[in-house]
Amino acid sequence: MASPEGRTFAELQAADNRCLDIFGGCDPMRRLVWDTSNFTAQTDQSRGGRSTARLDQDDNDQTFVMFTGSLDPRALDPPAAFAAMRTVETWIAPNLAAYDALIVDVKESDGKDYTIVVKDTPLERRPDGRLASTVSWEYDFNLRSNLKGSGRMILRFTEFKPFFRGKEMENAPEMKWDNIKSISIMCRSHFGNQEGDFTMHIYSISAYRYRDLSPEPAEDKIIRGPSSRRKRFIQRVRQSFDESFRPKSSSKAVPR
């Protein structure tokens, strides 16, 4: 679908710089190779669990990465298993103050619930070597209703929720999108609601700017996956700029 100005998503990106590549390329015609050395595994093994996580590239097609692993809540009490790939401490994040949302472009997935976790505080080590607890900003999603679990998930900054040690915070300080310190891709058990192997193939994670558009863009509908705390589906209105954003049928995600 063209924008209100009659331009495609790629044309808007080039002319207005509204899309910023973070990992991979947000333009479907210009896929970029991920640097997987910027990521490291962070799982419940740090507290006695057995979950695993990996981020790999396909030898024959490096335009996407494969986030895979296994959730095993049986060794934990409570059974809050998690497996994530987190950016390393030396990763330098872009300044996202001029943007409004993250776009996760998923090639295919297994329909499990996934979470993007963003932190704006430095990663510090405790004396035992584990990372100290800090506030994290989280967004849960899934593509279970879509063919092959593919689609572009639009994660507006205003809808990220602050958590500290697994509990949602009230009166949290405002998230500083100009001072990001880490980004994680996570799969977790939601206290026993999901377990076992998981896989999600991702083309890109990018930032997008919606503000200052005139006239206001047409709205397309997607439904976000269930939050692990609220355990319900939340319907939101989303805006899109090319045909891959427009649903071809009623769906819980924007099909490719």
- What pairing do the DSSP bridges indicate for beta strands 82-87 and 167-168? unpaired
Let me know: does 42 contact 86? Beta carbons within 8 Å.
yes
Mean pLDDT, the chain, integer: 78
130-161 residue pLDDT tens: 777 889 999 999 887 665 667 889 999 999 99
170: tokens are: 């009230």
Cα 181 versus chain centre, distance = 15
At 80 the pLDDT is 84
- Record the pTM: 0.74
At 243 the pLDDT is 41
Contacts (Cβ under 8 Å, ≥6 apart) of 170: none
DSSP state of 173: P
Q: What is the mean pLDDT of residues 166-187?
A: 93
Q: What is the mean pLDDT of residues 1-10?
A: 40
Contacts (Cβ under 8 Å, ≥6 apart) of 226: 113, 140, 142, 232, 233, 234
Q: Which amino acid is at 244?
A: S
56-75 residue pLDDT tens: 999 888 889 999 999 998 87
Q: Which of 45, 33, 94 is nearest to 73 (CA)?
A: 45
8-39 residue pLDDT tens: 444 444 445 688 999 998 887 888 899 999 99
3-state SS class at 56? strand
Domains of the chain and CATH, by start: 21-216 (2.60.120.430)
121: tokens are: 């505080």
